[in-house]
Amino acid sequence: TQLLEQSPQFLSIQEGENLTVYCNSSSVFSSLQWYRQEPGEGPVLLVTVVTGGEVKKLKRLTFQFGDARKDSSLHITAAQPGDTGLYLCAGSIQGAQKLVFGQGTRLTINP
């Protein structure tokens, strides 16, 4: 059973377009993190959101945590080829030490 569902699983768009990746669950998370993973490397943390409704921006990337802390989204404006990679959301459940990862969204930005 996948606790965190990411959509879409694959996305291929042209440079300059906008996109949104979704991360949904029926469980409540005390925090949610987004990671990006390049081939042959481990995931690298992009952002952590903790408060329901929280919005964080990282240059052209906007992250939002749902009001009920069950879902999150990642929006990229004017995508660039350097944004290509596997984007992973990961949630932390209150009282648990582990992170639960979604299956990832493989993003390809074509020049």
Partner 1 sequence: DAGVTQSPTHLIKTRGQQVTLRCSPKSGHDTVSWYQQALGQGPQFIFQYYEEEERQRGNFPDRFSGHQFPNYSSELNVNALLLGDSALYLCASSIGRRGYSPLHFGNGTRLTVT
Cis status of the peptide bond prior to 8, with omega within 30 of 0:
yes
Task: Choose the binding region for partner 1 from 12-20, 33-41, 52-60, 66-74 (rule: CB under 8 A).
Answer: 33-41
Beta carbon of residue 106, minimum distance to partner 1 (angstroms, whole number)? 8
30 near partner 1 (CB under 8 A): yes
> 3-state class of 83 per DSSP?
helix
- Which one of residues 18, 55, 96, 110 is an interface residue with partner 1 (CB under 8 A)? 96
What does each C-alpha distance from 33 to 45, 48, 63, 65 come to in angstroms?
A: 7, 4, 10, 10
- Which one of residues 48, 62, 73, 84 is an interface residue with partner 1 (CB under 8 A)? 48
Beta carbon of residue 78, minimum distance to partner 1 (angstroms, whole number)? 27
> Is the CB of residue 28 less than 8 Å from the CB of residue 47?
no
> 3-state class of 97 per DSSP?
coil
Chain residues that interact with partner 1, rule: CB under 8 A: 4, 6, 30-31, 33, 35, 40-45, 48, 50, 88, 90, 92-104
